[in-house]
Amino acid sequence: MAKEKIELTIDGQIVSVEKGTTILEACRQVGIKIPTLCHLDEVSSHGSCGICVVEIKNSKRLVRSCTGIALPGMEVTTNSERIRSSRKLNLELILANHPLECLSCERNLNCELQNLAKQLGVKESRFQRTKKKLIPLDWSSSSLVRDPNKCILCNRCVEVCAQVQSVHAIDIAGRGLGSKVSTFLDKGLGYSVCTNCGQCSLVCPTGAIVERSHIEEVFKDISNPELFTIVQTAPAIRVGIGEAMGMPYGALVTGQMVAGLRRLGFYKVFDTQFAADLTIMEEGHELIKRIQEGGTLPMITSCSPGWIKYIEHFYPEQLDHLSTCKSPQQMFGAIAKTFYAKQAGLDPRKIRVVSIMPCTAKKFEAGRNEMDGAFDFWKEELKADESERFADVDYALTTRELASMFKRVGIEFSSLPDENFDNPLGSSTGAAVIFGATGGVMEAALRTAYEVLTKKSLSSIDFMDVRGMEGIKEATVMIGEMPLKVAVAHSLSHAKKLMEQINNKTSPYAFIEVMACPGGCLGGGGQPIPTNSEIRKKRAESIYLEDSNYAIRKSHENPSIRALYEEFLTHPLGERSHHLLHTSYTKRGEYGPF
């Protein structure tokens, strides 16, 4: 049903908007972008920063446009001396307590606070600092670093963590000048139920929450002639990194990204998509086995490390529902340090695996104790003792960190030529590309499960019902005579709804895909800032365009994956796969272990 419309006047223009629209939204609809620091589209309007004020005729006070509702006949002014000086005053009050360390700050040149100061013409604050002490940084998380001194208490991180992710790891604690973003008992993010999803770092307007950087370590390893430092890139990087290098939102830059990585000096440039195809082989066969042998259903995907930590904390009794498959990042690391090391004649102790991921939680995942299957594979042959134990993946960098590396060495990204991935771990299919979008793992798995089970070719391989940005999507797919009911959720608040059905034993599904971040990996917490719903849609379009460009679009048809099974793994779910490609999970509960 069409919503009721109302009319108001904004800067002399008559505007018609839906009843209930905020003044801020109404202004945007006529092309007036009101500045804000705390408002978060589609999530919350906190009204705390006081930057978005406007004048309303016959109202003595200025009104905060993000919380004020547009009313019929309202006359709004967005540009006056009174408004400009009020915005400046509020910004100066914020800056009075802000450490102006722009030169050493991760967000320098991409900071909303810095941009706003420039936009409003604020060069210094007339006010004295009122906060007496500097607060120590929170280094407890393996994925994120918090600097409370740069926090402007806008509440965006708290809202995204609670409303979008249903995690509630952080909240504003204390009063007045003592207020700060804090965790349970103020113990630090690394000792909380935080899933490391990084959505807070995407929405933070300042450098108060940023990824924990490993750029220096990676540069050092690349230039160490004793080491073979190889790199893998997740599907979502090719539709994100261009943005961070000044190109349009969603720019598809696969070949230039490969060229840039080669210019950085990596020994080989490989593709996580190779391992995404491998994941489908293992996960698809696991699903088939569970269906045929009466295993735990619904089976839930396990590629998203933020999701894994969420279920470990909040639904520890339901871990049997998770696929035992490691994520593509981890499968890649295990195969690189075993199969590839053997084939290339390299000492696995000298291989460094660097991942470029759209995700901050991948840093935590790479450091999990159980992610070191390659060491066990080699232990006897190398006569290595426990002190030499190495991880399958050494460093996981975000898209933003990769952009910093490119900028640091002066790579002119837009003028790079297109180059191809190295082989054998650089070959992939269209099914692997779509891992980057919500619904993609499901679609890729269906393309393979259908053909393996029915031994027939699919007439159409595009499963449109599981595409798009709906929070929960469902479909019933006929696999021969068998109807397979599936669901896809992105963002943890949506995953929670599906988990409640499982808890209540009312889940109608056989297979569920969950991605922790809105839009899936393309909206991951390590992607370029800004990331919002419009940008996520553009990145998704590029992902599906890339899929359609591939000659091979089903994981089980990837010739390099076939060769990997023939030469090394033997068959999906075999003994070697079990040791290298599958894992187990930890019952964490809400009180840890964290």
- Judged by CB, which is closer to ligand SF4: 155, or 324? 155
Site size toward ligand SF4 (CB under 6 A) is 40
In the complex, the smallest distance separating the C-beta of residue 162 from ligand SF4, rounded to whole angstroms, is: 8
Could you tell me which stretch among 204-212, 262-270, 339-347, 584-592 binds ligand SF4 (CB under 6 A)?
Answer: 204-212
Residue given tokens 């915005």 in the structure block: 87
The two three-digit tokens of residue 396, written as one number: 């996981």
Contacts of 310 (CB under 8 A, 6+ apart): 165, 167, 195, 492, 495, 516
Sheet strands side by side (includes 228-233): 268-271, 228-233, 351-357, 395-398
Amino acid identity, residue 147? D
- Judged by CB, which is closer to ligand SF4: 574, or 589? 589
Report CA Rg, the chain.
25
Residue 200 interacts with ligand SF4 (CB under 6 A)?
yes
The answer to whether 49 is a known catalytic residue is: no
| Preceding amide of 298 cis, omega within 30 | yes
Residue 313 interacts with ligand SF4 (CB under 6 A)?
no
Residue 325 interacts with ligand SF4 (CB under 6 A)?
no
- Judged by CB, which is closer to ligand SF4: 196, or 329? 196
The answer to whether 102 is a known catalytic residue is: no
The answer to whether 370 is a known catalytic residue is: yes
In the list 166, 195, 229, 399, the residue contacting ligand SF4 (rule: CB under 6 A) is: 195
Residue 244 interacts with ligand SF4 (CB under 6 A)?
no
Centre a 10 Å sphere on the Cβ of residue 455 and count the other Cβ atoms it contains. 8
Residue 152 interacts with ligand SF4 (CB under 6 A)?
yes
The two three-digit tokens of residue 525, written as one number: 């917490």
In the list 44, 155, 273, 323, the residue contacting ligand SF4 (rule: CB under 6 A) is: 155
Centre a 10 Å sphere on the Cβ of residue 551 and count the other Cβ atoms it contains. 7
Dihedrals φ, ψ of 129, to 5°?
A: -60, 135
Q: Which residues from 50-109 bind ligand SF4, rule CB under 6 A?
A: 98, 100-102, 105, 107-108
The answer to whether 81 is a known catalytic residue is: no
Could you tell me which stretch among 1-9, 157-165, 371-379, 498-506 binds ligand SF4 (CB under 6 A)?
Answer: 157-165
Catalytic pick among 362, 363, 473, 554: 362
DSSP characters for 34-71? ---SS-BTTTB----S--SEEEETT-SS-EETTTSBP-
Residue 49 interacts with ligand SF4 (CB under 6 A)?
no
Q: What 3 state SS string does 218-279 have?
A: HHHHHCCCCCEEEEEECHHHHHCHHHHCCCCCCCCCHHHHHHHHHHHCCCEEEEHHHHHHHH
Amino acid identity, residue 369? N
In the list 161, 261, 391, 431, the residue contacting ligand SF4 (rule: CB under 6 A) is: 161
Residue 204 interacts with ligand SF4 (CB under 6 A)?
yes
Give the 3-state secondary structure of residue 107. coil
Could you tell me which stretch among 193-201, 312-320, 448-456, 463-471 binds ligand SF4 (CB under 6 A)?
Answer: 193-201
The answer to whether 557 is a known catalytic residue is: no
Catalytic pick among 286, 312, 401, 546: 286
The answer to whether 283 is a known catalytic residue is: yes
The answer to whether 365 is a known catalytic residue is: yes
- Judged by CB, which is closer to ligand SF4: 2, or 103? 103
Q: Which residues from 100-119 bind ligand SF4, rule CB under 6 A?
A: 100-102, 105, 107-108, 111, 113-114
| CA dihedral of 265, 269, 275, 276, whole degrees rounded to 10 | 110
Residue 304 interacts with ligand SF4 (CB under 6 A)?
no
Dihedrals φ, ψ of 320, to 5°?
A: -60, -20
Could you tell me which stretch among 13-21, 159-167, 449-457, 539-547 binds ligand SF4 (CB under 6 A)?
Answer: 159-167
Contacts of 222 (CB under 8 A, 6+ apart): 229, 264, 265, 266
**H or E element: which one contains 534?**
helix 533-549
Residues that bind ligand SF4 (CB under 6 A): 98, 100-102, 105, 107-108, 111, 113-114, 144, 150-157, 160-161, 165, 167, 169-170, 181, 194-200, 203-209
Residues known to be catalytic: 283, 286, 303, 323, 362, 365, 370, 521
